[in-house]
Structure 1
Amino acid sequence: MAYTVVGKSVSRVDAIAKVTGKAKYTDDFPERDMLVGKILHSPYAHAIIKSIDVSLAKALPGVEAVLTYKDLPRINYATSLPGFVDDGIEEEFEADRLKYGTAGHPYSLDPGHRDVEDRHILTKKARFVGDNIAAVVATDELIAEKALKLIKVEYEVLEALTSTDAALKEGAPLIHEERERNILASGGYAIGDVEEAFKESDHVFEGEYETSIVQHCHMENQTSYAYQDSDGRIVIVTSTQIPQIVRRVVAQSLGLPWGRVRVIKPFVGGGFGNKQDVCIEPLNAAMTLAVGGRPVKIELSREESMVDTRTRHAFKFKIKTGINQDGKIIGIHITAVSNTGAYASHGHSIAGSAGGKFRYLYPTKALKYEPMTVYTNLPVAGAMRGYGCPQIFYAFESHLEDIAKRLNMDPIEIRRKNVVEVGYVDPVSKNKITSCGIRECIDKGKALIKWDEKKALYKEQSGDKVRGVGMACFSYASGTYPVALELAGARIVLNQDGSVQLQIGATDTGQGSDTVFGQMVAEVLGLPMDMVHVHSTQDTDITPFDTGCYASRQTYVSGMAVEKAALEVKAKILGFASSMTDIPADKLDLLDQKIVLKHSGESVLSLEQVAMQSYYDRVLAKPITSDISNNARINAIPFGVTFAEVEVDIKTGKIEVLEIFNVHDSGTIVNPQMAEGQVHGGVSMGIGYALSEQLLFDAVTGKPLNNNLLDYKLPTIMDTPDIGVAFVEAYEPTGPFGVKSLGEPPTITPAPAIRNAVLDATGVAFNRLPMNPQRVFEGFKNAGLI
């Protein structure tokens, strides 16, 4: 379908503001006499506070408040008396204190479908190195830091459980007393009889695979500030992906009515899922209450941000697959153990998402998925770009590569024999595949990397440096339906000059969704992009409701609301023009800021004339607006593939990615240049996940060893090859303008593609991430190559 604005690489609506420094982030909104909040973190991974003395800290000049777990039950909202209120709760009743969940999921009316509530704002029992023990509010940062050092804490140190194996062992101490064997949750699904499928198979293969803990490393650390307004309501300005959910969680954490909290989200300097969690805002709200509503700011350091926010879950997989001689998969059995760290956060939903999104790619007669999510005394794992899929696709695409090698099959052909077809209905979610370009993606990627030519070239190699090619496929989703609510809102107002204002509840955190929504409105209303004014700040008091930025949902789900709102405004414009001209509305159209006759394109009125009349006609005046909320009860499945060529230095274990191509079926590409940028960023993250990134901890104490950007090995521009990007635009009939998701998929399969290319080059399979030089060298040594 031909569009005039959709499908074009228009400039981002925030581009000038960002490159000139005019874009305002949370730290750019100082309040008068802003106080500084600092947090005292536990030095122990597992410990009970026996005593805590804050008298010296409180006595320090410039300290306005010191908070511990003893104080927070007494911080309640009161219009007449904000601040501390003695509610009679004694400190020994720790189990009765208010707990809350932090995950950025929509609220559920079903109590059994809500996030696990296992967190206190400040804790009496430390569960990881970095857990929040106490907090200080002071007039400046230096005083706050000095006050933290004056707090005296006596701990009873417990055994630190730094792995899922340790947490699950018989007799291990419980991290959360209510969770037996430290298991947060377990349970997956079964389709068919997998044991019967194995009996029918010509071959049965097994493999074990492991991924690591990594961190998002977004440019802007977690930061927020809070104050009470003249009505006593708590106002929080924060760098978040989920303002509406922050509002709800802050209210729940302090036992407040939800309407007593207001959240404002300005420009955000990246999130990648870390800011799809409510990490610092409840404590920030408690701090302002503790000082009578004065503004208090929390800004985490990089070291704090890397351990006291969220990480990506590490997984251990065991996979068993039955397959016929011709390469057709008959049955798959996957067991997975997920390390959620010290608190639930997104918890078992990550493992559930992995098993759910994986299911769309290779339909099979029988599939059994048995995940388990386990607490450990490590930093909390939460949402991170791909939401479980980088883990499971690394495991299964590596496993499938191993199978192809043992069957002496071309890795491409084994996948082509098994990938899904249009019309498939998933037996668990009931989502239907209504578009699928995976085969075209494979063909395009194969041609771009010159697969056949390089396979032949590298068949017989010698020397210390060898080359190979690999590939890996993926499927994902466009939102969370049917697991969770998919509600999105949009508001459009026609201005007097014929331009429009667009407000959306969906949050742009750097990915460019504001621009995409502007293009959609411009397309429907026949406007140039500079006539669509997109409001990039979300405010829970003002902007339409939207659950937030996650699950690659916004272009698809929030786009539905935007398109509906634009169509309603268009209908109202034509209706008003009809009242001005007596020409039936169905005979009119809107094109290039003009009301035209539909059959000939002849101009009848300018859009500005209609807009002015709608505001100022003494009889008919009625400003033209639309305020739409859309509840999406449908999903669309994107697909894609990564192809990689590597050179491996046998003597040093160094892997160099020479070429990498990421090919996507994401439906219609609304803005090709921005889409390409999304892919570049996602592939770069995937390369880091594959080759270098890993948060390391002392195995005995649980102390972080590399929570800084010097020792945590992010790939730099010097480590990043030219990234090839291609799209197969399989029109998606359920999406606005035929779109499907793109935000998270680019990061899913670089790791298995690189791993499979290393296998092709060396014959050595690496089943654990990252494949850093030390680990690769040891693998070669064990394989006898060195």
Structure 2
Amino acid sequence: MSYKILGNDVNRVDAVAKVTGRAKYTDDFIERDMLVGKVLRSPYAHAHIKNIDIEEAANLEGVYAVITPKDLPKIKFATAGHPYSLDPSHRDVEDRLILTDKARLVGDAIAAVVAKDEIIAEKALKLIKVDYEILPAVFDSEESAKEDAPKIHEDRKNNILASSVIDIGDIESELKNADFIFEGEYETSIVQHCQLENQTAYSYVDSDNRIVIVTSTQIPHIVRRIVGQALNIPWGRIRVIKPYIGGGFGNKQDVIIEPLTAAMTLAVNGRPVRFSLSREEVFIDTRTRHAMKFNIKSAVSREGKLLGIYMKNMVNNGAYASHGHSIAMSAASKFRPLYDFKSIRVEPKTVYTNLPTAGAMRGYGIPQVCFALESHIDDIATKLNIDPIKFRKDNFISLGHIDPLNEIKVRSFELDKCIEKGKELIRWDEKKKIYKDQSSNKRRGLGMACFSYFSGTHPVSLELAGARIVMNQDGSVQLQVGATEIGQGSDTVFSQMVAEVLGISIEDVHIITTQDTDITPFDTGAYASRQSFVTGAAVKKAAQEVKEKVLSLASKKYGLNIEEIDIEDGNIIEKKLGDVLCPLGDIALYSYYDRINAKPITSDTSENVRINAVAYGVTFAEVEVDIETGKIEVLEIYNIHDSGKILNHKLAEGQVHGGVSMGLGYALSEQLLFDKKSGKPLNNNLLDYKLQTILDTPTIGVDFVEEADPAGSFGQKSLGENPTISPAPAIRNAVLDATGVAFNKIPMNPQSVFEKFKEVGLI
């Protein structure tokens, strides 16, 4: 499948605007007489608010409003950025109030002030007097799941948000009759997205008495709906605008600050109010990645065949539901089209605790299950003395595999080739021989890990996307999509798609990066690695419609059948002879100004994508482990992907570099810590929360195996989240290879590694 523009390394369409500072983000916009909103947060992890005295704060000069729970509708709403469901049983759990009268985590929002400036607002917060009834708190998911645990939400009989059993085949029989049974426990920690731009928004009431919210969000159309639900306002009375956005990684796939921002502006008669979170607030009252604890039992034949797997997954969801159990269910489904287990049973249990709420984060549950599964696979291969690559290859699914539960079909499967590329790049066989017998204090090892991932949420959820194209008088086009550019490069790829279909240059495609719910076609937003796959289908459809209209006009003008003409390099051509009939701009001008038949060439369409595609990939890592200090250094790391046709290699490589960097932090250093007695965060800032720096990051190797997938509109499959999935288990397996010690909990920071080495007698 060859293209002229797709597949080329064209520069990002927003590159110049971003590097020169011309790109305007939410905090770059100013309204006249803008006020500032701030929130009072609970110092306790679990407490009833018995009384709030706001008199002093309200009387402070420069304070325009003080808002408490009694000033707002007592409507519980769901914050998760999923499409609305007409089936009530399929909707997200509604357990959140804009301001709460019961704190469920340290930092829960219990009151708000609107003031002339930030200094006055902060001073007013200190004048609010709150009478708390402190309640017992619970922070461990297993403890919280017990019957006698403190109840976090009164309307639930226990703290279990949801639990499920996913069954394929007969796991009991497989475990009973297997030649070998292998068991393992694996655990991941709470981490944070740390996107560059904190959550920020401002709101005002316009001249039509509608609420306008300008916000840094991945999901503008969903924000409108959820704000309407939370404030009991018709959705059409709300307008949401998303300017340029400084990253999200899933943290902005929740509607966290917008309902309160709207409430603030209503409290001051529609005057503009800006509400922005500090980095410390982002750590505790936005979203985190779920901590998960897996217990795995697998059945294996003496020939080294995986027969069945039984996986229990305990999920710490924090204080509120957010995306809740859907992430545990994602973890239970997206690993299935990887290994050919005859039987699978997964039992995920998602539990409330008095910690910050977990939600969507790049990979949506798959980095956690991949760490557990790929660590377990290496453990089995080690115990059976089988090469871990051979063991995996012998157990992969086959092309054409259909999942018996969700019926997703594997239409392209190039994981074998990905492995061969990675193996060659890291010089696996050569280094394995060199590192075979090591006894020094610094030891090196190699590890690898595979993954599978989907391209969108079908069939679990709606996958609807819209695109609008208007041809200008000069033959260039304007493109509008509801899909949000959040740094991943989607605006560039959509522009390439239009240019490819229409036969014009990418410079003649003018994409509007701002999403505005009054103007922009409906799209559910940026998540689930869906944009090039789902929105791409809508963009292609719109571009084809425009092309058909152009060729129809040209056909009439030149008296040629429509099949005999085409658009190439911005010209209408006669295909057989290759002759240029006229510039595209002539047809565009004709469509606008012909006195009899004037009708501008446009397309406004949407696509309900009811298909999915499975992407694959592998990480290879080489590490050096200092036995005496516990320090792990990643010397080389390669991420190889089967993501179908790569539409822009430069952007794809950027995605992989960013994803691997996140995976390195997940494996080695990142962990949000809390006081075990009070639940107070101990490192909710960028100094103490240990992100990987450029000095910690090795050169990241990237490669692709390109095989067009027939489900993709241009042969493409997902890539956005995929690179962050498998680095952690690959590094863990490299450490196992180097030291013989299995680390079943991440992060593997020097402290935990040192303690483990001491425990097993290496030190």
**TM-score under structure 2 normalisation?**
1.00
Counterpart-to-counterpart distance in 1, 2:495 and 2:397: 34
* 1:507-529 deviations in Å (ceiling 9; x for gaps): 00000000000000010111111
Work out the CA distance in 2 between the residues paired with 1:780 and 1:181: 39
Residues of 1 paired with 2:588 and 2:442: CA distance?
69
CA contact (8 A) 1:318 1:335 kept: yes
How far the C-alpha of 1:599 sits from its partner, in A, is 1.6
Amino acid in structure 1 at the alignment position of 2:27? D
- Secondary structure of the residue aligned to 2:56 is helix
CA contact (8 A) 1:6 1:519 kept: yes
8 A Cα contact 2:142 2:314, kept in partner: no
> How much does 1:463 deviate?
1.0
Q: Does 1:319 align with 2:291?
A: no
Q: CA separation in 1, counterparts of 2:258 and 2:414?
A: 42
Spell out the pairing of 1:91-240 with structure 2 (5 A cutoff): 97-240=74-217
Give the equivalent residue in structure 2 for 1:11. Answer: 11
Aligned partner of 2:55 in structure 1 is 55
1:33 aligned residue: 33
SS of 2:213's partner is: strand
Kept after mapping to 2: 8 A contact 1:224/1:299 = yes
Aligned partners of 2:271 and 2:405: how far apart in 1? 51
CA distance, structure 2, for counterparts of residue 179 and residue 465 of structure 1: 52
* Deviations 1:664-703, CA, capped at 9 Å, x for gaps: 0000111101100000000000000000000000011000
For the residues of structure 1 that align with 2:286 and 2:20, how far apart are their CA atoms? Answer: 30
Shift of 1:170: 3.4
SS at match of 1:30: coil
Deviations 1:740-776 (A, max 9, x none): 0000000001000000000000000000010000000
1:583 positional shift: 1.0
Structure 1 residue matching 2:321: 3-state secondary structure: coil
Alignment match, 1:398: 375
Q: Output aligned runs, 1:288-367, within 5 Å.
A: 288-367=265-344
Count of residue pairs brought into register by the alignment: 763
**Partner AA of 1:513 in structure 2:** S
Offset at residue 181 of structure 1 (A): 2.7
Of the candidates 241, 248, 257, which is equivalent to residue 225 of structure 2?
A: 248
Aligned to 1:181, what secondary structure does the other structure show?
coil
1:604-659, Cα deviation, whole Å (9 max, x unpaired): 12101101101101112110001110000000000000000000000000000000
Q: CA deviation at 1:177?
A: 1.5
Q: Which residue of 2 aligns with 1:82?
A: none
* Contact 1:661–1:724 under 8 Å retained in 2: yes
**Over aligned residue pairs, what C-alpha RMSD do you find?**
0.7
Q: Which amino acid aligns with 1:3?
A: Y
- Work out whether 1:536 is the aligned partner of 2:513: yes
Q: Which runs of 4+ in 1 moved over 4 A?
A: none
Q: Aligned equivalents of 1:340 and 1:188: distance in 2?
A: 18
Equivalent residue number for residue 603 of structure 1: 580
Q: 1:272 aligns with which of 222, 237, 249?
A: 249
Secondary structure at the counterpart of residue 468 of structure 2:
strand
User: 1 CA distance for matches of 2:196 and 2:712?
Assistant: 32
Aligned to 2:421: 444
Aligned to 1:86: none
Given that 1:478 and 1:636 are in contact with CA atoms closer than 8 Å, whether structure 2 keeps it comes out as: yes
Q: 1:642 aligns with which of 608, 619, 626?
A: 619
1:358 alignment partner, SS class: coil
Aligned to 1:80: none
Residue 91 of structure 1 aligns with which residue? none
In the alignment, the residues of structure 2 paired with residue 691 and residue 180 of structure 1 have an alpha-carbon distance, to the nearest angstrom, of 38
Aligned equivalent of 1:664: 641
Amino acid aligned to 1:634: I
Amino acid at match of 1:633: R
- 1:42 is matched with 42
Aligned to 1:740: 717
Q: 1:188 to 1:601 in 2, by over 3 A?
A: farther
Output one character per residue of 1:530-585: Cα deviation in whole Å (capped at 9) or x when no partner.
10001000000101000000000000000000011111111100001112111111
Equivalents in 2 of 1:188, 1:753: separation in Å? 29
Greater displacement, 592-601 / 334-343: 592-601
**Match of 1:89?**
none
Aligned positions of 1:61-100 closer than 5 A: 61-73=61-73, 97-100=74-77
Matches within 5 A, 1:254-265: 254-265=231-242
Q: 1:90 aligns to what? A: none
User: How far does residue 422 in structure 1 lie from its aligned partner after superposition?
Assistant: 1.3
Give me the whole-angstrom Cα distance separating, in 2, the residues matched to 1:231 and 1:640: 51
| Cα distance in 2 between the residues matched to 1:453 and 1:601 | 54
Alpha-carbon displacement from aligned partner over 1:355-384 (angstroms, at most 9, x marks no partner):
110111113110001000000000000000
Cα deviations across residues 273-332 of structure 1 (Å, max 9, x unaligned)?
000000100000100111000000011000001111000000000000001122211000
Query: How far apart, in 2, do the equivalents of 1:72 and 1:101 lie?
Result: 16
Aligned equivalents of 1:164 and 1:774: distance in 2?
24
2:463 touches 2:610 (CA, 8 Å); kept in 1? Answer: yes
Q: Give the TM-score taking structure 1 as reference length.
A: 0.97
| 2:462 alignment partner, one of 480, 485, 491 | 485
Same amino acid, percent of matched pairs: 67
- Counterpart CA distance in 2 for 1:111 and 1:643 is 44
Q: CA deviation at 1:169?
A: 2.7
Deviation at 1:180, TM superposition (A): 2.6
Letter paired with 1:373: T
1:79 is matched with which residue? none
Residue matched to 1:727: 704
In structure 1, what residue type is equivalent to 2:590? Q
2:594 is aligned with 1:594: no
Structure 1 counterpart of 2:670: 693
The answer to whether the 8 Å contact 1:573/1:624 transfers is yes
The residue matched to 2:233 in structure 1 has which SS?
coil
CA–CA distance in structure 2, aligned partners of residues 267 and 434 of structure 1: 36
Give the Cα–Cα distance (whole angstroms) in 1 for the partners of residues 440 and 537 of structure 2.
56
SS in 2 for 1:320: strand
| 1:718 matched to 2:695 | yes
2:100 aligns to what SS in structure 1?
A: coil
d(CA) in 2 for partners of 1:16, 1:703: 42
Residue aligning to 2:263: 286
CA distance in 1, matches of 2:300, 2:545: 52
CA offsets per residue over residues 13-72 of structure 1, 9 Å max, x none? 000000000000000111011000000010000000111100000000000000011111
Query: CA offsets, 1:75-98, max 9 Å, x none?
Result: xxxxxxxxxxxxxxxxxxxxxx21
Partner residue, 1:81: none
8 Å CA contact 1:188–1:352 kept in 2: the answer is no
The residue that corresponds to 1:408 in the other structure is: 385
Confirm whether residue 370 of structure 1 aligns to residue 370 of structure 2.
no
Q: Is the 8 A contact 1:127 1:175 kept in 2?
A: yes
Partners of 1:49 and 1:181 lie apart in 2 by 21
CA offset at residue 117 of structure 1? 0.1
For structure 2, the 5+ residue unaligned runs are none
Q: Is the 8 A contact 1:51 1:153 kept in 2?
A: yes
Give the Å deviation of 1:188.
3.3
Q: Structure 2: how far apart are the matches of 1:384 and 1:223?
A: 18
The CA deviation at 1:165 is 2.2
Cα separation, 1, equivalents of 2:11 and 2:195: 23
Written as runs of structure 1 = structure 2, the 5 A alignment for 1:481-630 is: 481-630=458-607
